[in-house]
Structures are given as C-alpha cells and as structure tokens.
Structure 1
Amino acid sequence: MLASEASGYWSNDVMSRMVVGLMVLGGLVAAWLFSPAYLSPSVPDVGLATDTPTLERGRYLVNAGGCISCHEGDAGGLSGGMAIESPFGVFYASNITPDPATGTGGWTGSDYVRAIKHGRSPDGRFYFPAFPYRSYADVTDEDALAIASWLNAQPAVVNNVPAHDIPGWIGRWQLAPWNTLANLGEPVPALYDDAQLARGAYLARHLGHCGECHTPRNALGISDYANEFAGGDMPDGHVPAINSAALSNWSEDDLALFLFLGLLPDGEYVGGKMEPVIEHNTGQLSDEDRQAMAAFFKRGL
C-alpha cells in the first residue's frame, strides 16, 4: 500500500512539477541559445535614392532578383497575392508597392535592406522563408538599396493580400532557431578568381536564387547544400536538377539561349513555372550576365 501510494504521489504531483520545470528550463536554454537570432539585425542607416541611374539599376536588379515572377499582382504592379504552395502551407506574396496601408509605403532604405537581406519587417517580425531572404543575404547593400529605390518610386497599389494559410503550430517565433540551424549547414561562400564565374555565382545563387527551387530540402525545409542544384520536390511536382551532371550535354551557349528564350537543346520550349522566370527574370538580363550564369553552371560548381 505504501509503495502504491508513493508511486501515485510521484506520478501525479512530483512528475507534473518535474515536467513543468523541465519545460521552463528548456525554454530558458532555448532562449539563451537563440537569443541573438531574435534580435533585429543592425543595418546601415541609409536613405532611398531618386536619381535616374540608380533607379535604372534598381529596375534591372528587380528583374535579376526574380521579384516580378512572384509579386506581380492582379491589382496591378507588384501588388502581390500569388499563392506559393509548400509542404508547410500556402504563403501569399506580399504587396511591395509603396502603398502605406497594404504595401511598403513609409519604409526607409534601412527597412528595405533589413527585409531583403535579413528577412525582417520594419517592426522586427520574421518573414517566412517563402520569401528567399536567405539567398538574398549575400546581395550587396548597394544592390539591395537600388532595388528598394526603384520599388519605392513605383505607383502605389492598394491590395490586401490574403493571410498565409498555414497550420496553427507554425509561428514566426520558430524562425530564429530555424535560421540558426540553417546557418550551421550553410557552406562557406566560394571565391572565384574568374570574374565571369564570380558574377554568374552572384546572379544564380543570390539575386536569381535558383537554389530555392532547384536544391532539395530536409524535413525542416532547410536547403541541403551538399546537393546544391540537384533538384527539389514541390507540392505540384519535381523540380529538375541543374547541376553540372544534369547539364553535362548542354553547352554554355545552349544555357545562355535557354535563359534568354526558354529554348531547350532539343528545340522544345520550357513550360510550367519556368515560363515567367524566363519572361521576367533571366530573359531581361544582359547577354553578358546570361553568359556568366551559363559559365557558372557549367564550370563553377
């Protein structure tokens, strides 16, 4: 009887207190481990430009960055609303026109840089990685600011984008540890002596964020950098590999022509979700930049 009573006391009272204590301890440990990741990143105090050369450069970089493919909206301009399906739910591309109520109106240059490169809103909230800020992290501040300046100079469009359709167990607070784990697996950026390869890597890995779709991910949605560009799986199908093995039968000129027109080596044209990428992104690049991307995929991996 005494043994039975002791067992019952342990399980009903002490055990519950132990569980609560362990949860509190675990929360404190997690807060200590990830507290730097919760802090809003410090960025230079920079203003938006209005001069024509910067705005023209920003327009070019918006194309190179693939902004139009996702943010073009039925309401006009880059007013957002496109549904982006993922294993974690449906995310809706935001309104990035300078409308003060539903878009980016009132943002400073620093706000834009913090959003583009760090995935944080002006009030410090995390953006979900459906927005490819991890790829944009290595975009130069100068390029990020040129993008911001062009976006801010466009007409404002009122468009209330739907709320993300995601399970209740997914929250923005989880992105601090998620980003920390992603950082642990991210390789040291490669350095290239060849200027063409360096430019191609910058366009493909960062501005163009090709790996966001073409690199596989683990169960947490973190990119498998050991298999960069080896193909990925999306809710609507498999995304093909574009690594050196997959492109072994392509010439650099084949690749450059594909990036311009979407023309495959067999004479067929690419379809599906690559069509708007060709139309709004790679098809708008200079011949020199397309050749740089082709050289990177053939010789830089």
Structure 2
Amino acid sequence: MSLPRIGVVIVTMGTRPRELEALLASVEKQDVPAARVMLVGNATPLTDVDVAGNVTKVPLQENLGCPGGRNVGLGRLLESGEADVVIELDDDGLLIDADVFRTVQQLFATDPELGIVGFRVADEQGRTERRWVPRLRAGDPMRGGPVTAFLGGGHAFSMPMLGEIGLWPAEFFFGHEESDLAWRALDAGWKILYEPGLVLQHPRTSPARHAGHYRFTARNRVWLARRRLPVPLIPLYLGVWIVLTMARIRSLAGVKAWWGGFAEGVRKPCGPRRPMKWRTVWRMTRLGRPPLL
C-alpha cells in the first residue's frame, strides 16, 4: 500500500509567537515527517520565526483572512506536487500525539474516496466543547464516523479533491468557509470523516472574540446559501438561522452588527452560484445534518 506524502499549511498573523513555536515543535516531532510545511504570514514578515529545513516561510504584505492565507499555502503545495494530503492547523493549536501524521496517512491510503478528515479539538484539560463536534448530536465527542462538516482548526484534505473542487472561498475572509468547502466536497462525491482519535489541543475561546465576528458570520451565511443551496432551501435555511441567532445573541450591538452583515450578504456579489444537487441534500440528511442547520 502506497502511503501519501504529507504537507502542512499554517497561517499566522504573528500575534501568538509562543503558541506558534510550540505548534511547529509538535509538527517536527511527528513520527512521520511532513514533506513540506508552508508557514504563511498574514501581513507579517515572519523574520523572527525559527523553522526547520522542511518549512517554507511565505510572508504576505496584507492580511488575506484565514481562507485567503491558506489558499496561498495550498497553491504552493499544488504547484510543487510535494504532497498528496495536506494538514491545516490553527497557529494556537498543538498536536499532543506524535502519530497524527501517520494515522492521517493510513486513513487516506485505505480509502480513495476520502476527501476530508476532521480532527477532534480539545482544550488543555482534554474537554471538547459541543460546538467543536461536527454533528447535531454533539453529546459524545468520541463518536467518530462520516459527517457533513469539519472544524477549520485542525483537518486534512486530499489534494486530488482540492484539485477537483477548488480551494477555500477567499472572499469569505472569516466565517463559514468550512461549510462552503465541505458542501462542495460532498456534492462532488467525496467523503468527510470525523476522527476523534486525531486531537488538536486548542484553548477554549469564543468565536465572538474576533473583530467583525457577527458581521462576517451573517454576511457569509447569506453568501453560502446563495452560492450552494437549491432555490427552495434558501429562505428555509436563512429563516432557521435568523431565529436561532436572534435567540442566542445577548447584546444590542451584536444584533445590529449581525443584521448589517445579513444586509451586506444580500446586496453584495457572493461569487459564482453552483447549487448542490438534490441527491447531495438527501445524502446530508441521511448523515444526520440536512443543509438547513
């Protein structure tokens, strides 16, 4: 059995130097070495970051957002042909086990239809928050298997899959880019696997810590619906999320920002529209998460 070569993409803004150093050390200690690591600096020169010989620094003049920055690293790996599978990691994450890359290799080697493997994200005490579990029934984070979504903080992609469906939607900048990519992968017939044995340690945080969180998530949710859903599902999807979001937001400023982003998502161009097939809707429903939630 031929084992795929592993590439890694890490995007950083240079604001977490200690965490990044620890992450790079955890990548270096893997018992299967990465063929190439792309360290992308979003509006940061990376001059003060010491790296191993298989790490390529890619400093960018401007902040392209998480999906845009990752696309730069993925594009370099696609051009070089050095990797068959790419692992993407948040710069404040940490690989606590040394066999992560080996396990990823084996998973992709045994299933040519596997497109995405999602890691389990856990905090320093080993706890996984419900929002980190990529299924609606999130009570047991140790239950793995086929899913319809994955976490952006730690995951692996098949490079042939990316060659077929394309890269991240860079225009999203932050928020729901994982859903756009996952829906495209499922629509093209690829599998998404949640593997809880693959752990990325990550501090417990709130997504609202990011500037523009409410605006971006509202805008991008509208864009996601416009880009990927059959017409009859668009008002249903957005209606469900309006109700859920209004029930969850606790601040007037957050409500205003969210509705501002929603209006922006309606008004502004969202990129090419390629709605998923109805059979993909049914496939996602059978997997436990129809594209309404």
Q: Which has the higher strand share?
A: 2
Instruction: Please identify which structure carries the higher helix content.
Output: 1
* Pair member with larger Rg: 1
TM-score, structure 1 normalization? 0.29
Q: TM-score, normalised by structure 2?
A: 0.29
